[in-house]
């Protein structure tokens, strides 16, 4: 069976700026796929491209972009809007501003079911109350009549999640859903997402820059750097044996109890993320990479060291010195 979401060779540019280059990833049914990387590496844009929500001044190209085996690249806005909110849904980084201040929680939730299923307002509100309870909001009936400004950030994000679930989507894209929230609330939201995923068999594409989140929630991970997916792997193997030098650098920046010694500085990656414009050649990480070789400025091949793993580097696994 094919993956639920297939992205192959996705390119996104804003004028001369190349935001995403040749990104490929797959989200399988019922799996949590984490997309990690630094700010500005193209994670959010990739997600928006899948949803067809890119800003007007951007250009999207791909070899293949498919949902449930069906091409969504050629769908127009109307065709795509039939899918959005129904079979694939998205929640965002900014819970404070993502709900419309002028309408009640209930009205904003209900319209999703009315739109996609032709449900009556009454039935849609019942469904909304049920889902608010599902995301562990107390007294859902009362919350339905409230406006976003009467809710805290954590509650608003729960409402967003509940709203995304109105039509029982198969795919939920969550773009840094916990970044704007308090640490304690973050943990609750992540646990909620994990539970929902298990109970509803949701596939989740979770965008984050927090490797702790990845370790706790992901089945698979794709690491992005400067617009490219540089490594894709099942989560345990990525943490045990990172392949791409960038992934290795990233993992060395994380303090692990028992492994990090107090008197030694934490790892860091020297240098800065390059500014990538169109026509860029070679590996974007080469200026910061300790293993860089002359052929890193040419075309970079994909390596598949084992089943289910891909990384984008000139250096073969056996040539990598253990750092």
Stretch that binds another protein, among 6-14, 98-106, 263-271, 286-294 (CB under 8 A): 98-106
DSSP per-residue codes, 162-178: HHHTTT--SEEEEESTT
Sole binder of another protein in the list 67, 92, 239, 285 (CB under 8 A): 92
- Which residues within the stretch 19-58 sit at the binding site for another protein (CB under 8 A)? 51, 53
Stretch that binds another protein, among 86-94, 230-238, 264-272, 284-292 (CB under 8 A): 86-94
Q: Is the dihedral of CA 233, 239, 245, 249 positive or negative?
A: positive
Site size toward another protein, by CB under 8 A: 29
SS3 content of the chain, % helix, strand, coil (to 5): 35, 20, 45
Q: How far is the CB of 83 from another protein (least distance, A)?
A: 7
Long-range own/partner contacts, residues 253-262 (CB < 8 A, 24 or more apart): 254/211, 254/212
Closer CB to another protein, 10 or 163, in the complex: 163
What kind and span of H or E run contains 290?
none
Q: Per rule CB under 8 A, is residue 106 in the interface with another protein?
A: no
Q: How far is the CB of 113 from another protein (least distance, A)?
A: 10
Closest CA to 239 of 260, 212, 205: 212
Closer CB to another protein, 100 or 278, in the complex: 100
Q: Per rule CB under 8 A, is residue 163 in the interface with another protein?
A: yes
Q: Per rule CB under 8 A, is residue 152 in the interface with another protein?
A: no
Closer CB to another protein, 159 or 214, in the complex: 159
CA 298 to chain centre: 29
Closer CB to another protein, 132 or 283, in the complex: 132
What residues have CB less than 8 Å from 135, skipping those under 6 apart?
Answer: 158, 159, 161, 162, 165, 192, 196
Q: Per rule CB under 8 A, is residue 179 in the interface with another protein?
A: no
CB burial string 226-249: b at 16+ within 10 A, e below: bbbbbbbbbbebbbebbbbbbbbb
- Collapsing DSSP to helix, strand or coil, 20 comes out as strand
Sole binder of another protein in the list 63, 64, 70, 82 (CB under 8 A): 82
Burial (CB < 10 A; 0-12, 13-18, 19+), residue 282, is middle
Q: Per rule CB under 8 A, is residue 170 in the interface with another protein?
A: no
Q: How far is the CB of 209 from another protein (least distance, A)?
A: 20
Sole binder of another protein in the list 35, 41, 66, 90 (CB under 8 A): 90
- Which residues within the stretch 212-271 sit at the binding site for another protein (CB under 8 A)? none
- Which residues within the stretch 130-149 sit at the binding site for another protein (CB under 8 A)? 147, 149
């Amino acid at each position: 069976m094919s993956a639920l979401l297939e992205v192959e060779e996705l390119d996104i540019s804003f004028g001369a700026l190349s935001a995403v280059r040749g990104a490929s990833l797959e989200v399988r049914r019922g799996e949590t796929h984490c997309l990690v990387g630094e700010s500005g590496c193209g994670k959010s844009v990739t997600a928006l491209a899948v949803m067809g929500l890119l800003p007007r001044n951007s250009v999207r190209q791909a070899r293949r972009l498919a949902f449930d085996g069906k091409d969504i690249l050629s769908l127009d806005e109307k065709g795509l809007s039939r899918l959005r909110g129904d079979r694939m849904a998205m929640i965002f980084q900014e819970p404070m501003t993502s709900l419309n201040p002028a309408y009640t929680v209930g009205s904003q939730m209900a319209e999703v079911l009315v739109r996609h299923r032709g449900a009556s307002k009454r039935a849609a509100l019942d469904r909304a109350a049920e889902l608010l309870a599902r995301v562990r909001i107390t007294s859902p009936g009362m919350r339905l009549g409230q406006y976003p400004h009467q809710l805290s950030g954590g509650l608003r994000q729960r409402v967003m999640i509940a709203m995304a679930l109105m039509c029982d989507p198969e795919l939920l894209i969550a773009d840094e859903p916990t970044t704007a929230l308090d640490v304690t609330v973050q943990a609750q939201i992540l646990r909620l997402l994990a539970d929902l995923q298990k109970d509803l068999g949701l596939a989740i594409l979770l965008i984050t820059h927090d490797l702790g989140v990845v370790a706790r929630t992901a089945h698979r991970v794709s690491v992005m750097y400067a617009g490219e997916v540089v490594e894709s792997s099942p989560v345990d193997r990525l943490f045990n044996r990172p392949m791409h030098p960038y992934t290795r650098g990233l993992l060395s920046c994380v303090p692990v109890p028992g492994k990090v010694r107090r008197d030694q500085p934490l790892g860091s990656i020297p240098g800065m993320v390059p500014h990538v414009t169109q026509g860029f050649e070679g590996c974007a990480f080469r200026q910061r990479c300790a293993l860089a070789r002359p052929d890193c400025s040419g075309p970079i091949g994909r390596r598949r060291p084992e089943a289910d793993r891909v990384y984008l580097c000139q250096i073969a696994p056996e040539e990598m010195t253990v750092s």
